[in-house]
Every structure is written in C-alpha cells, then in structure tokens.
Amino acid sequence: MKNAKNTEQLRRGHENRLSAGLMVLLAAACGMVAANLYYSQTLVGPIGEALGMPSGAAGLIVTITQIGYVVGLLFVVPLSDMLPNRRLIVSLLGFLVVSLAAASFAAGSFLFLAASLAIGLGAVVAQILVPFAAYLSAEEQRGRAVGNVMSGLLLGIMLARPAASLIAGLWGWQAIYVLSAGLMALLAIVLGRLLPERRPAKSLSYGQLTASLLALFRGTPPLRRRAFYQASLFGAFSLFWTTVPLRLADEYGLSQQGIALFALVGVAGAAAAPIAGRLADRGRSRALTLGAIATAVLSFAAAALVHGRSHASLALLLLAAIALDMAVSGNLVVGQRAIYALGHETRGRLNGLFMAIFFLGGAAGSFLGGWTYAHGGWAAAAWIGALLPFLALVYFMTESRPAA
C-alpha cells in the first residue's frame, strides 16, 4: 500500500502541466455527457404523449433521471478512488450508449423510465472526468483547469434544452437519444485512446469506500460548507429555469423557439467558470464566493420587483438569467477547487458527495419553483428563489476564515 502511494506521488512529481488539447477534450466530453441529463426537460410533453403517460406521471421522466444521477454520484463515483480511471470511464460510456439506445427504442413508459434511470447513472462519468483533470494538473493551474473543464460541462447543460427542442422538432424526440448514443460511442473510443492511465492506490475495498462517505462528510467541514453554498445556488438556478419558460409563455407569449433563444443567451453565464478558476488560483476564493451568492440574491430580487409584460421587464429577466448562471458556474468551480485540494486519495468520493448534495438542492429548487409558480405566480417563485441564496449568505457570514 505504501509503495503504491509512493509510486503515485513520484508519478505526479514527474507529470507536466495538463496540455491545452487534453483540457479541451475533457471539457467537451463533460459537456456532451452532462447534456444527457437535460435533454428530456423540454421533451416531457411529446415523450409522455408518445408513451401514453398521464400528465402527472410525465414529470417522472426528469425526476427518475436525476435520481439515477444522485445514486451514481454516491455509489459509482467512489470507484474512481479504487479502479483504473481510464477503464472506468470507457466502461461507463459504454453503459451510457446502451441506456440511450434503450430510451430511443422504448415502446412503453416502464422501459423508458428504466432507461432514464440508467442514463442518469451512466452520466456520472462527467464527475470522474472533472477530478481526473484536477489530477493531471499542476497545483498552480488546477483552478484554471477545473474552471475550463467545468465551463464545458455547464455549456453542455445549458445547450441541452434548446438542442433537444430543435432536433425533436426536425426528426422527433427519439432522434436526440440516437444522436447522443452515437456521440457517446465515439467519445469512448477517443478517450480510450488519448487519456493517460491513473491507477489509484487500493487502500480500501468498495464496501469500505462507500461506508467512508458518511465519515468524510462528518470529518470535512470545508466540504459541508461548500456543498451548502452550492446547493443553495443550484436550487435557485433550478427554480429559475423551471419557472421562467412558464412565465415566458404565459406573460410574453413566446413560442418554444423563442424560449430556446432565451435559454441560448443564458449560456453566456458559463464564461464565468474559467475566470473564477484563474482568480481562485490567486487566492480570491472567499471574495468570489461572496460575490456569487450576492449576485444570485440580487438577480432574483430585481426580477421579483419588476412585473408586467414590457420589453424592459423581459430585458431584466434576461440579465437576471445571465447573472444567475454566472454566479452558479463561478461558485461551482471555486467549490470544486477547494474540495479537490483536500486529498488525492479521497478526491473521487469528496467530489461525489459534493455533487450529490448540491444536486439534491437543485431537485428541491425545481419542486419549489413549480409549486410556488402554480399557486402564487412569478412573484412568489422569485422571492423563494432569492431566499435560497440568502440562506447561503447568512451561513457564509459564520465563516471565520477564508475557505480552504
């Protein structure tokens, strides 16, 4: 065990900085993989209708995918601290190909929902690629590397919705799953050839790895703090993108194409990720966190106060979308950089815990958004959206020293 650890340390000592080409590849791979989680969000209607699902049950399409993702974060991502990473990545991509193909050819709701669960499970490969990029990076470039790779992941998330709507409009909803299955197969071949190998020291069994998650959560205060910050911000983000399409259709009369264009403009927020990574490398993590949380609060507060169907209110809503996306993406990179610095051998498990917690925050935000919009309209939903990052701001004020 000691020899294995020494071997990895020596290997890391001889590694060069992460090349620009490999960084771009990892960013693109994360984006293409993460997009699979969000294709169904704009296709719930046509999928539910095609499979004969009642309107109430159609919402399970998204929920089941998210559940699969959280399960994968907790029980699959820890394998990256145990198994050769390249083999694990390629195997998960192969599993994702089969899952996407099953979804595209599903003839009934049960098979499609089972495939959706599997898609969420396989998509956690993105959260093995991100810490893999951190592993390959020199200390002084780690924040920038994570920021660049995360910007690719966030672009995939943001582009998934309009891309799915466009492709479904041209060739039907099954087409996006067929196309993505082909992309995942190609990605598996490319990464299998180009990724360097990483063989973690096998200090724990799988049972010990999963059992250690609770101990890691309890014994790692920076993880708990960063996860709460990001869960609050991602909850606000999910609430926003759950309710804004409804408001755009109800109050502004936008078509699906118009809503897709609105979502595309929000992609500009992903530009904050690499910038935040560079600033975090310069020791600005605390200031970046405060700025991100405050931006999220102000974005929602401004959107809640301005009502009506004027061009000015629509422009403000668009600015709020960009600002909120920047806050979430920037703080995500800062948080991941902080937890990746906590230990090489636990990096996969720490990342899995971090992502699972903030993803649960996103699920809560989506639920709250849909419920409050239905019962209180946009104003009620927006004030709830402002409350979530405000709670993070209150917690941030209890931090007595700069985040790790």
**What is the per-residue pLDDT across 36-94, written as a single tens digit (0 to 9) for each?**
998 887 676 678 778 887 754 555 677 788 789 989 988 898 888 788 889 999 999 99
Q: Are residues 198 and 345 in the same domain?
A: no
Give the pLDDT of residue 9: 43
Residue 108 resides in a domain: yes
Between CA 7 and CA 11 the distance in angstroms is 6
List, in order, residues 6 or more apart from 177 with CB less than 8 Å away: 39, 100, 101, 103, 104
Q: Are residues 239 and 177 in the same domain?
A: no
Q: In this structure, what DSSP letter does residue 111 have? A: H
Contact (Cβ atoms closer than 8 angstroms) between residue 230 and residue 358: yes
The domain boundary, picked from 169, 187, 202, lies at: 202
The domain boundary, picked from 147, 171, 202, lies at: 202
**Domain with 386 in it:** 204-398
Give the pLDDT of residue 186: 97
Between CA 321 and CA 268 the distance in angstroms is 9
Q: What is the CA radius of gyration of the chain?
A: 21
Is the dihedral angle over the CA atoms 184, 162, 304, 251 positive or is it negative? negative
285: CATH: 1.20.1250.20
Q: How far is CA 154 from the centre of its chain?
A: 7
Between CA 63 and CA 40 the distance in angstroms is 10
Find the distance separating the first CA and the last CA of the chain, reported in whole Å: 28
* pLDDT tens digits for range 346-363: 776 787 788 888 888 887
Between CA 270 and CA 267 the distance in angstroms is 6
Give the pLDDT of residue 58: 57
Between CA 294 and CA 276 the distance in angstroms is 15
Q: Are residues 144 and 42 in the same domain?
A: yes
Between CA 352 and CA 339 the distance in angstroms is 11
Q: Are residues 71 and 217 in the same domain?
A: no
Contact (Cβ atoms closer than 8 angstroms) between residue 384 and residue 376: no
Entry pTM: 0.75
Between CA 371 and CA 63 the distance in angstroms is 15
Q: Are residues 184 and 247 in the same domain?
A: no
Q: Are residues 355 and 389 in the same domain?
A: yes
The domain boundary, picked from 186, 202, 218, lies at: 202
Q: Which amino acid is at 296?
A: A
Give the pLDDT of residue 121: 95
Low-confidence ranges of the chain (pLDDT < 70): 1-17, 42, 44-45, 55-60, 140-141, 202-203, 256, 270, 307-308, 343-345, 348, 400-404
Between CA 55 and CA 62 the distance in angstroms is 13
Residue with tokens 């209180």: 376
Give the pLDDT of residue 175: 94
